[in-house]
Homo-oligomer: A and B are copies of this chain.
Amino acid sequence: MNSVFSFFSPRDKKFQPLFERDIRNLVEISESLVKTVSEENPELRNKHFKETERLEQAGDDISHTIFLELSKNFITPFDREDIHALVSAIDDIADYIYATSLNIELYRINSFSKEIVELSALICNMCRHLETAILELRNLKNIKIIADICITINKGESEADSLCNTAIAHLFESETDAIELIKQKEILQSLEMATDKCDDVANVLESILIKNA
């Protein structure tokens, strides 16, 4: 296990700035999702989708850079497995948000249920909290902030489950067009998966806290 000392070592200048770029990019992806599901004009919505796509690729590049650094560096600020899990989970959140936006385009969805709008706002909120927590990894001086955010994320994930389940039950009760049901169900489920992955990030943060604080 790495000592706290390593936070002040020169190595740290490599990883922490990359984590911060990665989570900033994710916040922007989640903001782009909120804009997408709030936009009634299909052409303007397509612009938000293109932006999500660009950001998702930028996120892939950041993940890739971090994995390369992991391969090259023997000393890392946290356990290698935690860094790998952290970056993979952030990448997964981005992937599920992108998949949602892509499906909105592919399925030509033009109106968004209350639950889709609420889930999108919830994800964006969770990503902003995760950014605050990751900025705290810089020095781990205020670990209570990180611990509290982990609890908030955990509650958010339960709320998302509940929102998604209600929406799906409602869909199967009221939607008689099977193709429309498939579309809506898939969008709800990819949003819900994004919140699951936010919870994975919170779990890694908790593991980092225990080992390093």
Contact = CB atoms under 8 A, between A and B. Distances in A.
Contact of A68 (B67, B74, B173, B210): B210
A165 B211 CA distance: 43
Contact of A182 (B68, B106, B181, B206): B181
Contacts of A178: 178-179, 182
Contacts of A179: 172, 175-176, 178, 181
A107 B173 CA distance: 8
A71 B211 contact: yes
Contacts of A105: 169
Contacts of A181: 179, 182
Interface residues of A, number: 29
Given A72-B210, A179-B181, A106 B169 contact: yes
Nearest to A175: B179
Contacts of A165: 102, 106
A35 B71 CA distance: 39
Given A71-B207, A106-B168, A172-B179, 10 more contacts: A64-B203, A67-B207, A68-B207, A68-B210, A71-B211, A102-B165, A105-B169, A108-B172, A176-B179, A178-B182
